[in-house]
Structure 1
Amino acid sequence: MKFKLQHTDKATKARAAKLTTDHGVINTPIFMPVGTAASVKGVHQRELREDIKPDIILGNTYHLFLRPKIDILEQAGGLHKFMGWDKNILTDSGGYQVYSLSANRKIKEEGVKFKSHIDGSLHLFTPENVMEIQRSIGADIIMAFDECTPYPCEYQYAKRSMFMTHRWLDRCMAHLKKVPFKYDYEQTFFPIVQGSTFKDLRIQSAEYIANAGAEGNAIGGLSVGEPAEEMYAMSEVVCNILPEDKPRYLMGVGTPINILENIALGIDMFDCVMPTRNARNGMLFTSHGTINIKNKKWENDFSPIDKEGTTFVDQEYSKAYLRHLFVANEFLGKQIATIHNLGFYMWLVREARERIVQGDFASWKNSMVQQMDKRL
């Protein structure tokens, strides 16, 4: 992987960069649509390629491990070939799923024992086998195995968890050296900063992760219920420590406003299920605020979904038509809404990049935050 910093905003710490892997160029800042189980929900790969056009999407180790299972992915030649996607993929190591399965898992120094949410079968994730699993999945960027702490979290628990995440990182890196690439391209490894919302722990973890010398770095354990101000404070602390010449990935974030504010702090990469999940429930993101398309107020509104025309569906479908599809429970409604939301997120980060290059990112960001912080 190669990372080239191209522009830095003078008024903020926002960056525009180019990240290159064997599956192509990723222009940052970037949002990664979440394709948890080898599918971005409700969207064909053709629509991803031709309409939404992300440089990279995300898959999940936990879900892919349970279904379709690793042997199927290996027989297919890796996740790219299995799902028919020839651009970049990043895989989360499963740490967040371990966090979300709190009733069905036990965390020990060895790793995490958990019950499958599908059939209740018992499994063990360790730093070592998670690296092997991600080799078999074959993503371009793979993540360290970590523990994502809940919010709120007691200081001593967060501290113990952070140190264990650091020990697990050492085991991940040692084991990766023993496990060769499975396919005809390279993989890049990112460790993860933890420490909950405690500044001293975040500093300590960021320094440890920076010293690991990986080609990129991630920030985990945020967007788990903490106020946005605490998220921004932790991002700022960590970005001040992580090296400038390597990409920074803030995991699981977030709303369009969260993304813009974190870009201003120096974050390069984002992912979140919000655009797809909210779309299926009729919540649309636009450049002028959020829309609940199921509300009666849109029944005879024949204007585009977003009057700025941020996605191709804005030219083809009106609010009234999309509301009709939701009221009639037509699947097409959820599909159009999903394409719109993903397209809007991609427009947002691409426009942010253009503004960084042009030099007016700060004023544009402040204006966009005000506009998007509305319910229409």
Structure 2
Amino acid sequence: MTVAFTFDLKATDGKARSGVISTPRGEIRTPAFMPVGTAATVKAMMPDSVAATGADIILGNTYHLMLRPTAERIDRLGGLHRFMNWQGPILTDSGGFQVMSLAELRKLTEEGVTFKSHIDGSRHTLTPERSMEIQRLLGSDIVMCFDECPALPATDAEVARAMRLSMRWAERSKAAFGDRPGHALFGIMQGGVTRELREESAEALKAIGFDGYAVGGLAVGEGQEAMFDVLDYAPDCLPVDKPRYLMGVGKPDDIVGAVARGIDMMDCVLPTRSGRTGQVFTRRGVVNIKNARHADDPRPLDEQCTCPACRNYSRAYLHHVFRAQEIIASMLLTWHNLHYYQELMAGMRAAIAEGRFADWQEAFHAQRAQGDIPPL
């Protein structure tokens, strides 16, 4: 008997929500941050280490995996979970965003998108049906509809056209997804920063019916203020009893602001990419480990943090291995950043459950405003 995909909303505090998504591969505590494992790996991390940070779910990428090593090969080798040795739930995005942002010489039609691979120039076609097939072959637990995500700024006419095409593709995605007990299909709301278009998109998605709903087309260059303006109403347009996922977000204060506005799930490459470029997230804001001020500093990145980088190594050591381009720098700084993000989510979950989210939020912003500890 396959465990059903369910969402249990446990507590609300203002618009902020905490709950549990149940899947056959385990529970996802919300609000949830999903580390990005684009090419079947969370960069610079072992799967056990990702789990040790507190992550319940990770994200894989349809576009990258269809090109290399191919979904068919992953299927033959037992599916994505076995292939990358991650036992928990996996969400796969549909490939639409990467086609728009990475692929060369793409041609968009009602049917789908034909494009040239950014790796070797080979030609491929991605349609709602093919995206559903790839995600089925990968064996992901949460599947995303195939959509078109236009980069902002774009004209209202262009945003409206892309949104309506995405809604037609959502219908085709649902038909192609079929009946897959224990697996979930999420619809993606589009509409740029225009309220009427967002509302139209939400109504179209609700009419089709999905296991969860994403807010797409944000964090694509519109700025935090415009994003929050959309999030002030967009989550409210979606069903209360289904998970709400804000795609591709973001910075810690973006995440906190999104949760305050009713978002349950987020993903972003920021903590992992920043780890590899020497940007470190702490309670007191962002630390740049490249800076010479850390060269003789025996203190940890964050006195209160329990990650291996903070428990076992000094700022001086992390500065040294980063400047020396040692691989351990990427490993330790990425681990720290993912640990920080998961601690952030756990803090919000506890605050929402205890009805003190507004106070928690105030303390979060006040601590970050202090800036890094003074140099020695």
Query: Could you say whether these structures have the same fold, taking a TM-score greater than 0.5 normalized by the shorter chain as the test?
Result: yes
**Are 2:167 and 1:163 aligned?**
no
Check the 8 A contact 1:310/1:347 in 2, yes or no. Answer: no
Structure 2 match to 1:329: 325
Deviations 1:235-275 (A, max 9, x none): 22211110111100000000000000000000000000000
Q: Deviations over 1:303-329 (max 9, x none)?
A: 111122153431111111100111111
| 2:80 counterpart residue number | 79
From 198, 207, 210, give the equivalent of 1:211.
207
The AA in structure 2 aligned to 1:24 is G
Unaligned runs of 5+ in 1: none
What is aligned with 2:110?
A: 109
Q: Of the candidates 1, 4, 7, which is equivalent to residue 3 of structure 1? A: 7
1:28 aligned residue: 30
- What letter corresponds to residue 285 of structure 2 in structure 1? G
Partner of 2:261: 265
Q: Quote the Cα distance in structure 1 between the aligned partners of 2:88 and 2:103.
A: 34
Superposition misfits of 4+ residues, deviation over 6 angstroms? none
Q: Which amino acid aligns with 2:7?
A: F
Contact 2:177 2:185 in 1 (8 A): no
Q: TM-score, normalised by structure 1?
A: 0.95
Cα distance in structure 2, aligned partners of 1:354 and 1:369: 17
Q: CA deviation at 1:103?
A: 4.5
Partner of residue 272, structure 2: 276
- Answering whether residue 186 of structure 2 is matched by residue 190 of structure 1, we say yes
Distance 1:67 1:107 in 2: 22
Q: Distance in 2 between matches of 1:136 and 1:370?
A: 46
Describe the SS at the equivalent of 1:26.
strand
Contact 2:71 2:137 (C-alpha < 8 Å) held by counterparts: yes
Which whole-Å CA distance do the structure 1 matches of 2:256 and 2:289 have between them? 24
**Aligned partners of 1:257 and 1:373 also within 8 Å:** no
Local SS of the residue matching 2:233: helix
Task: Give identity over the alignment, percent.
Answer: 46
Cα-to-partner distance string for 1:322-348 (whole Å, 9 max, x where unaligned): 001111111111110000001100110
Q: CA deviation at 1:372?
A: 2.8
SS of corresponding position for 2:97: helix
Separation (CA, whole Å) in 1 of partners of 2:196 and 2:362:
29
Question: Does 1:243 find its partner at 2:244?
Answer: no
Q: Would the aligned equivalents of 1:57 and 1:89 in 2 still touch at CA under 8 Å?
A: yes
Contact 2:103 2:115 survives alignment (8 Å): no
CA displacement at 1:371 relative to structure 2 = 2.9
Q: Tell me, in whole angstroms, the C-alpha distance in 1 between the residues paired with 2:209 and 2:42.
A: 32
CA offsets 1:70-89 (integer angstroms, 9 cap, x no match): 22111111100111111000
Task: Supply the AA of the counterpart residue of 1:7.
Answer: A
Alignment partner, residue 38 of structure 1 = 40
Determine the C-alpha separation between the residues in 2 that align with 1:213 and 1:277.
35
| 1:200 equivalent in alignment to 2:196 | yes
Q: Cα distance 1:69–1:374, how it changes in 2: closer, same or farther (>3 A)? A: farther
The alignment's TM-score, normalised by the length of structure 2, stands at 0.95
Residue identity opposite 2:190 in structure 1: Q
CA distance in 2: counterparts of 1:123 and 1:209, whole angstroms: 27
Mapped pair 1:300 → 2:277: no
How many pairs were matched up?
368
**Does 2:172 match 1:176?**
no
